[in-house]
Structure 1
Amino acid sequence: MSKKTFTETARRAQIVAAAIETLAELGHARTSFARIARRAGLSSTGLISYHFAGKEELITEVAATVLTEFREHVLPRMAGLDSAGAQLRAFLLANFDFMATHRPKLLALLEIGPALRSGAGDPGLLESDLAGLAELLRDGQRRGEFREFDPRVLALAIRSVRDGVLRRLAVEPELDLAACAVEVVRMFELATCEPGETWAGEQRD
């Protein structure tokens, strides 16, 4: 990698990091190139425009960056588990672990989600993430571990609950995420299993 390419890559990453912090603090509507430039310590917004044609391109890059880090955090925790229930539990717990250590990144993603879903940026980023979760649920049904339900609807419910906890965390920084994780895991175990059963295939008392 040439020195120029390295410098441009580092500048691009700096802009994305500043955008994440600005989005997390101010929200999508109040995030502008001017505010991002100030946070990044850049002399002008032209340095942002050199790398990103507009706000839509930048938020797409933010989403791609956060989702890549999220997947790198979550997927290894699911690897090697031999049941869909164990994988879903690992997925949920990893979400809360990531939330505890990368709160601004998830808040930024939460802020730009509506814009991406409305077509401002690349809506396929969020859709692919949702599709992966729905496929995990569908696989549990194929294995006979999960009851019959609409996998996409439940995937949306899981994401909505996660986002709801994140919104609460934004205004209540001392929120006990470990306790929240226990309740959410229990909620979706009940939602996916037949009455009286657990993800381990055991009968619940």
Structure 2
Amino acid sequence: MSPRIDEQNQQIRDARKQQLLEAGAKVFGERGYAGTKVSDIVREAQLSHGLIYHYFASKEDIYIELARTAFTTSYETIRQVVENGGSPYERLKELTEGIFAHTAGSGYFFLIALQTNTSKTVPEEAAAISKEYSGQNLQLLEQLFREGQKQGEFIHADPFKQALMYSSMLNGVIFTRLTYSELEDFPQVDQILRIFTHAREEE
């Protein structure tokens, strides 16, 4: 078989795997892990039932890969912003805007992350991924809040608790937005920032 044909076949395999993952994200997000069957994912993907086993051994494997994507994407989003230049206030604003924009287009991954953090039925490996990356996310946010306090931009409070409050608030807001789609612009980013930073005029 020629390299060109090999490449084309690989592209087809990658596309089908992505199709299954997108279908899995939607079904798991809507039905939860316990309420999802492999047949539900296959039906959503509009592929033959036997084909799924060329890519995944079980629905558990699909869920674990989706959970890993959800948590690693979140971690990289936070890491890149925290380690970028700009004042702590500017970075916190950029991060908040970025998270809202990202979850507006990938709400199912947020729901997968949420159930991985709260459900006792999800695979243990997925729960372990959640624990690892959630802890790293909080460390990055704590670092950002410490910088903001040193530079006088953020209010003085326990930086870890501020990081935890910020993370909890964003989770609550995203969940509300997914529940009530008409509230896309609620709350405004500046409303959230005012809770953690000293009041400042809009530039």
Kindly report structure 1 stretches of 4+ aligned residues shifted beyond 6 Å: 71-79
Question: 2:142 touches 2:163 (CA, 8 Å); kept in 1?
Answer: yes
Give, as a single letter, the amino acid of the residue that structure 2 aligns with 1:83. Answer: S
**Equivalent residue for 2:61, pick from 57, 63, 67:** 57
1:8-157 equivalences under 5 Å are 8-44=13-49, 46-67=50-71, 81-114=85-118, 119-121=124-126, 122-123=129-130, 124-143=132-151, 145-157=153-165
CA root-mean-square deviation: 3.3
Distance (whole Å) between structure 2 residues aligned to residue 145 and residue 186 of structure 1: 11
Unpaired segments ≥5 residues, structure 2: 1-5
Question: 1:63 touches 1:125 (CA, 8 Å); kept in 2?
Answer: no
Distance 1:52 1:148, change over 3 A: farther
**Between Structure 1 and Structure 2, how many residues are aligned?**
192
Distance (whole Å) between structure 2 residues aligned to residue 81 and residue 199 of structure 1: 20
Deviates more, 1:85-94 or 1:28-37: 28-37
Instruction: Return the TM-score normalized by structure 2.
Output: 0.74
Percent identical pairs in the alignment equals 27
What's the offset of the Cα at 1:70? 5.2
What's the offset of the Cα at 1:42? 2.0
Q: SS of the residue aligned with 2:36? A: coil
Instruction: Return the TM-score normalized by structure 1.
Output: 0.73
Q: Deviations over 1:75-112 (max 9, x none)?
A: 77777542112111211122222233333332333233
Question: 2:100 touches 2:174 (CA, 8 Å); kept in 1?
Answer: no
Question: 2:97 touches 2:189 (CA, 8 Å); kept in 1?
Answer: yes
Distance (whole Å) between structure 2 residues aligned to residue 177 and residue 56 of structure 1: 35
**Equivalent residue for 2:195, pick from 183, 187, 190:** 187
